């Protein structure tokens, strides 16, 4: 009788252990992801999806981060979004089911060829444009953005909205080492990826050494778009920044008491060009 009871208890413990193991599942080891390490760490390769890598739980990201020497898991940026995983390590993103276009090596001005390359034999559709302030669909009338999208067989692979400049929080040309027509033109060519096909236009405010760099491109409508990349000319910064439609006020003798303050920073006025296509 005693032996029977011991056997029954032992059987119960074994069954419980097996059930717990099945519920928890096998814990992956770093070596399980060795086949993807080279691709993940290669800056010239598109970031793989977590589905491709085999991630089924956010906890599995730790082993993946170890394998690619990415450091500990960045918990705040590692998530499960309705079955789409993003594994972020301290030093890099290891995989993503919702990648940015940049992570897929698809960049402004080069979307046509880079999206086509990524899709391979699949039907390709793309969007490659610059959205400038003032358009009805613009989320923020003070900003200029690159809008990038790549679709393969109708499926959106990535969609980026990349800030180029902000009229309310501008960048000084001196901080970008832009001090001449050649450096302005080079900046527009590099950052615009060819979307600013009319080049850069560098001007200096009369009587000063303060410069402004405008990136210019042909819009879809045929007109010229002007994106002011930077300026060293100081104007108020923040939500009340000056714009073409809302110019800086001319201070009256009692302007200080009326709440107006002298210029404190620099500002950029921006515009853009448009390129879209289906292949």
Q: What is the pLDDT of residues 21-54, one digit of tens each?
A: 334 456 789 899 999 999 999 999 999 999 999 9
Determine what percent of the chain is predicted with pLDDT higher than 70. 71
Instruction: Judge contact between 160 and 100, C-beta under 8 A.
Output: yes
Average pLDDT, the chain: 78
Please name the residues in contact with 167: beta carbons below 8 A apart, sequence gap of 6 or more.
Answer: 133, 142, 143, 241, 242, 243, 267, 268, 269, 270
Nearest to 271 by CA among 197, 165, 170: 165
Q: Give the pLDDT mean for 178-190.
A: 95
Compute the distance between CA of residue 235 and CA of residue 232 in angstroms, rounded to an integer: 9
pLDDT at position 201 over 80: yes
Query: pTM for the whole thing?
Result: 0.70
Quickly tell me which residue has 């789409």 as its tokens. Answer: 84
For 31-177, where are the E strands, in sequence order?
79-81, 84-88, 93-96, 124-131, 143-152, 155-166
Q: What is the pLDDT of residue 246?
A: 54
Instruction: Judge contact between 202 and 176, C-beta under 8 A.
Output: no
Q: What is the pLDDT of residue 75?
A: 93
What is the DSSP annotation of 157-182? Answer: EEEEEEEEEESSS---GGGGT--SHH
Q: What is the pLDDT of residue 136?
A: 61
Q: What is the pLDDT of residue 144?
A: 84
pLDDT at position 183 over 70: yes
Q: Give the pLDDT mean for 255-266.
A: 35
How many CA atoms, within 13 angstroms, populate the side-chain half-sphere of residue 214? 16
Compute the distance between CA of residue 64 and CA of residue 62 in angstroms, rounded to an integer: 5
pLDDT digits (tens, 9 = 90+) for 124-140: 999 998 887 656 666 67
Q: Give the pLDDT mean for 146-164.
A: 94
Longest dimension (CA), the chain: 107
Instruction: Judge contact between 84 and 98, C-beta under 8 A.
Output: yes
Range with the poorest average pLDDT among 87-91, 92-96, 213-217, 235-239: 235-239
Q: What is the pLDDT of residue 15?
A: 36
* Distance (Å) of CA 249 to CA 23, 68, 242, 252, 263: 68, 55, 8, 9, 11
Q: Give the pLDDT mean for 157-178.
A: 89
Higher-confidence residue of 248 and 272: namely 248
């Amino acid at each position: 009788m005693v032996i029977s009871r011991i056997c029954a208890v032992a059987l119960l413990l074994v069954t419980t252990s097996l059930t717990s193991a099945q519920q928890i599942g096998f814990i992956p080891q770093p070596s399980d992801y060795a086949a993807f390490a080279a691709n993940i760490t290669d800056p010239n390769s598109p970031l793989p999806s977590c589905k491709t890598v085999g991630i089924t739980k956010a906890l599995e990201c730790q082993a993946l981060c170890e394998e690619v020497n990415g450091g500990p898991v960045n918990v705040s940026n590692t998530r499960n979004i309705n079955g789409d995983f993003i594994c972020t390590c301290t030093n890099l993103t290891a995989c993503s089911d919702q990648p940015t276009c940049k992570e897929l090596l698809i960049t402004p001005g080069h979307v046509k060829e880079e999206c086509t390359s990524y899709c391979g034999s699949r039907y390709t559709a793309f969007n490659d444009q610059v959205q400038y302030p003032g358009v009805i669909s613009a989320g923020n009338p003070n900003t200029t953005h690159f809008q990038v999208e790549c679709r393969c067989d109708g499926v959106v692979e990535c969609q980026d909205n990349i800030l180029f400049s902000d009229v309310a929080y501008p960048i000084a040309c001196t901080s970008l080492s832009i001090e001449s027509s050649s450096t302005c033109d080079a900046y527009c060519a590099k950052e615009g990826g060819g979307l600013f096909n009319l080049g850069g236009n560098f001007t200096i405010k009369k009587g000063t050494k303060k410069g402004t760099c405008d990136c210019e491109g042909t819009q879809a409508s045929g007109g010229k778009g002007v994106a002011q990349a930077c300026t060293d000319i100081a104007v108020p910064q923040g939500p009340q920044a000056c714009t073409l439609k809302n110019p800086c006020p001319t201070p009256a003798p009692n302007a200080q008491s009326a709440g107006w303050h002298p210029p404190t920073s620099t500002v950029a006025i921006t515009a853009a060009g448009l390129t879209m296509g289906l292949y």
